[in-house]
Amino acid sequence: GQNIDQPTEMTATEGAIVQINCTYQTSGFNGLFWYQQHAGEAPTFLSYNVLDGLEEKGRFSSFLSRSKGYSYLLLKELQMKDSASYLCAVRDRASGTYKYIFGTGTRLKVLA
Amino acid sequence: EAQVTQNPRYLITVTGKKLTVTCSQNMNHEYMSWYRQDPGLGLRQIYYSMNVEVTDKGDVPEGYKVSRKEKRNFPLILESPSPNQTSLYFCASSSQRQAGNTIYFGEGSWLTVV
Number of H helices, E strands in chain A: 0, 11
Look at residue A94 and tell me whether its pLDDT is greater than 80. Answer: no
Distance of CA B89 to the CA centre of its chain: 6
Mean pLDDT to the nearest integer, B81-86? 97
- Given the DSSP bridges, would you call strands A9-13 and A106-111 parallel, antiparallel or unpaired? parallel
* Complete DSSP assignment for A74-101: EE-S--GGG-EEEEEEEEEEETTEEEEE
Look at residue B68 and tell me whether its pLDDT is greater than 80. Answer: yes
CA distance A10 to chain B (A): 15
Q: Which of B40, B45, B100 sits opposite A31 (nearest CB)?
A: B100
Q: What is the pLDDT of residue B42?
A: 87
Look at residue B100 and tell me whether its pLDDT is greater than 90. Answer: no
Look at residue A69 and tell me whether its pLDDT is greater than 70. Answer: yes
Could you tell me where the beta strands, DSSP code E, fall in chain A?
A: 3-5, 9-13, 18-25, 29-37, 44-49, 53-57, 60-65, 70-75, 84-94, 97-102, 106-111
Q: Identify the band that residue B79 occupies on the pLDDT scale cut at 50, 70 and 90.
A: very high
Radius of gyration in angstroms for the set of CA atoms belonging to chain B, rounded to a whole number: 13
Q: pLDDT tens for residues B10-32?
A: 999 999 999 999 999 999 999 99
Q: Identify the band that residue B98 occupies on the pLDDT scale cut at 50, 70 and 90.
A: low
CB contact under 8 Å between B35 and A33, yes or no, is: no
The chain-wide mean pLDDT, for chain B, equals 93
Q: Identify the band that residue A1 occupies on the pLDDT scale cut at 50, 70 and 90.
A: low
Q: What is the pLDDT of residue A3?
A: 87
Comparing A16-30, A68-82, A85-99, which segment has the lowest mean pLDDT? A85-99
Q: Identify the band that residue B96 occupies on the pLDDT scale cut at 50, 70 and 90.
A: confident
Q: What is the pLDDT of residue B2?
A: 80
Q: Where are the alpha helices (DSSP H) in chain A?
A: none
CB contact under 8 Å between A105 and B88, yes or no, is: no
Q: pLDDT tens for residues A37-68?
A: 999 899 999 999 999 999 998 999 999 999 99
Chain A residues with CB under 8 Å of B43 CB are: 43, 87, 102
CB contact under 8 Å between A104 and B40, yes or no, is: yes
